[in-house]
């Protein structure tokens, strides 16, 4: 395997592109970029909405820096050919790829573009990376031609770990690949300091947008503001189905609201793919802590504090959801159930405006061994009660 060492000029794009091309021809190798801040511009001189600075199509290649904030690859602030939507790395059709120990910096005022854009990547590793500034997305699973593409290439058996994101215009990690084909994606030890800075009602954002079979753990997500969600499990086309983020698992997370949360648009976790597992987490100071709108969700060991609208909201589509060892404290409604066959076991609703609220659609609702304490209204149940309602061992029911 060939090894390309450093010695790059400050204007580094042509050197890196040449090194990638050489290693692709030779069947793989390692590119080492020593400590330093390197300006990047589009070496091919193209402009427009599909710009990319470094195009990577070879397998068995590693791009290794000396460490985050030591090796910095940044979009050139002025004078470069890259358009506003430029991506630093575009990796397509490459397997056994490694990117490690690098900080990626967007250009001030950049409108879109991604730090890393991936399509059809298999058995690869992305670790110890920082993404700073106004990238559209920090990491995007997307096909290569923006809105004009018809098929997003899948990401399989690939690990993302020890990542920091700060300042993305929309998502920190965005999975828009063909939703039924992503599989074996592992995400761990991720910090999102800020994201969704340009999110609006017409284009919302999620810190981590999950589609495909994904396992994620140890996530810290800060500054959930208007029109943003901390963790979103999304089905194909945004519809409820057994595709997209279904059968994904997230365990170990903290999600905190920012300074601007109004009109129910700040959400800790949003589930609209079925068979999702969400566990061992804490969310605070958002409008809605956990919003479920697809079936068979299992939520366990999750605490929601100060959700001013609803702690746990289970809307139409959330049938057969199960909530175990969950707490809603100091918010509007603790638990709001609007679909059938929902079960809540070992819950606490404390110091909310309303502890538990059911609609007429909450048939066959089961609540067992819960405590309703200090809520202005302990429970709100329509009359007549939804059919099949069962309560056992709940304090102040």
Q: Which residues of 304-327 are buried (b: 16+ CB within 10 A; e: fewer)?
A: bbbbbbbbbbbbebbbbbbbbebb
Contact predicate 168/199, CB 8 Å: no
**Band of residue 107 on the pLDDT scale cut at 50, 70, 90:** confident
What is the mean predicted confidence (pLDDT) over 349-376?
Answer: 98
Q: Is the pLDDT of residue 83 over 70?
A: no
Whether 154 and 180 share a structural domain: yes
Report CA Rg, the chain.
23
Domain end (from 233, 257, 288): 288
Share of the chain above pLDDT 70, in %: 85
Q: Is the pLDDT of residue 109 over 70?
A: yes
What is the mean predicted confidence (pLDDT) over 334-338?
Answer: 99
Of 74-78, 149-153, 196-200, 203-207, the poorest mean pLDDT is in: 149-153
Q: Which is higher by pLDDT, 263 or 36?
A: 36
Whether 371 and 242 share a structural domain: no
pLDDT in tens, 266-290: 999 999 889 999 999 999 999 999 9
Q: Is the pLDDT of residue 5 over 70?
A: no
Q: Domain range holding 321?
A: 289-397
**Band of residue 193 on the pLDDT scale cut at 50, 70, 90:** very high
Q: Which is higher by pLDDT, 184 or 177?
A: 184
Of 48-62, 99-113, 165-179, the poorest mean pLDDT is in: 48-62
What is the mean predicted confidence (pLDDT) over 380-393?
Answer: 97
pLDDT in tens, 209-230: 998 889 999 999 999 999 999 9
Whether 264 and 118 share a structural domain: yes
Whether 202 and 303 share a structural domain: no
How many domains, in total, are found in the chain? 2
Domain end (from 249, 265, 288): 288
Whole-number average pLDDT of the chain: 88
Whether 360 and 391 share a structural domain: yes
> Which DSSP helix (H) or strand (E) runs through 22?
helix 13-26
pLDDT in tens, 138-154: 999 876 544 444 556 78
Q: Which is higher by pLDDT, 187 or 148?
A: 187
Query: Using CA of residue 51, residue 53, residue 56, residue 57, what is the dihedral sign?
Result: positive
Q: What is the CATH number of the domain that holds 58?
A: 2.160.20.10
- pLDDT for res 85: 52
Whether 294 and 340 share a structural domain: yes
Contact predicate 214/241, CB 8 Å: no
What is the mean predicted confidence (pLDDT) over 302-331?
Answer: 98
Whether 302 and 168 share a structural domain: no
Whether 158 and 298 share a structural domain: no
Whether 337 and 395 share a structural domain: yes
Q: How many CB atoms lie within 10 A of CB 175?
A: 28
What is the mean predicted confidence (pLDDT) over 180-191?
Answer: 90
- pLDDT for res 44: 47
Q: Is the pLDDT of residue 70 over 50?
A: yes
Domain end (from 288, 306, 323): 288
Whether 135 and 228 share a structural domain: yes
How far is CA 100 from its chain centroid? 20
Establish whether the linkage from the previous residue to 278 is cis, with ω within 30° of 0.
no
- pLDDT for res 183: 87
What is the mean predicted confidence (pLDDT) over 330-350?
Answer: 99
> Which DSSP helix (H) or strand (E) runs through 322?
strand 322-329
**Band of residue 6 on the pLDDT scale cut at 50, 70, 90:** low
**Band of residue 81 on the pLDDT scale cut at 50, 70, 90:** very low
Whether 277 and 374 share a structural domain: no
Q: Is the pLDDT of residue 1 over 60?
A: no
How far is CA 186 from its chain centroid? 12
Whether 113 and 210 share a structural domain: yes
């Amino acid at each position: 395997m060939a090894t390309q060492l450093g010695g790059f000029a400050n204007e580094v794009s042509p050197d890196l592109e040449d090194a990638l091309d050489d290693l692709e021809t030779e069947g793989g190798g390692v590119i080492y970029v020593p400590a330093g801040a390197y300006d990047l511009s589009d070496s091919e001189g193209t402009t427009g909405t599909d710009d990319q600075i470094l195009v990577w199509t070879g397998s068995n290649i590693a791009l290794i820096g000396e460490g985050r904030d030591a090796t910095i690859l940044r979009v050139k602030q002025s004078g470069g050919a890259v358009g506003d939507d430029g991506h630093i790395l575009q990796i397509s059709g490459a397997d056994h790829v490694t990117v490690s120990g690098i900080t990626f910096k967007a250009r001030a005022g950049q409108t879109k573009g991604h730090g890393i854009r991936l399509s059809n990547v298999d058995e690869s590793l992305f670790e110890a990376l920082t993404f700073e500034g106004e990238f559209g997305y920090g990491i995007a699973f997307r096909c290569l031609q923006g809105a004009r593409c018809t098929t997003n290439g899948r990401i399989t058996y690939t690990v993302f770990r020890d990542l920091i994101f700060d300042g993305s215009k929309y998502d920190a990690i965005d999975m828009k690949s063909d939703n039924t084909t992503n599989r074996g994606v592992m995400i761990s030890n991720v910090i999102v300091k800020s994201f969704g800075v340009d999110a609006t009602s017409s284009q919302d954002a999620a810190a981590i947008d999950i589609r495909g079979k994904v396992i994620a753990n140890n996530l810290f997500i800060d500054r959930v503001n208007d029109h943003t969600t901390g963790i979103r499990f999304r089905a194909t086309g945004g519809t409820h189905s057994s595709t997209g983020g279904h059968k994904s698992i997230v365990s170990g997370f903290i999600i905190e609201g920012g300074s601007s949360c109004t009109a129910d648009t700040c959400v800790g976790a949003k589930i609209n793919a079925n068979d999702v597992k969400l566990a061992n987490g804490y969310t605070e100071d958002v409008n809605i802590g956990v919003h479920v709108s697809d079936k068979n969700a299992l939520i366990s060991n999750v605490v929601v504090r100060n959700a001013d609208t609803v702690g746990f909201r289970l809307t139409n589509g959330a049938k057969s959801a199960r909530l175990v060892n969950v707490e809603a404290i100091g918010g509007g409604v603790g638990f709001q159930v609007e679909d059938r066959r929902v079960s809540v076991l070992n819950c606490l609703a404390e110091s909310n405006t309303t502890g538990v609220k059911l609609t007429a659609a909450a048939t066959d609702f089961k609540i067992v061994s819960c405590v309703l304490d200090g809520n202005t209204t302990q429970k709100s149940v329509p009359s007549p009660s939804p059919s099949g309602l069962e309560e056992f061992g709940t304090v102040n029911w």
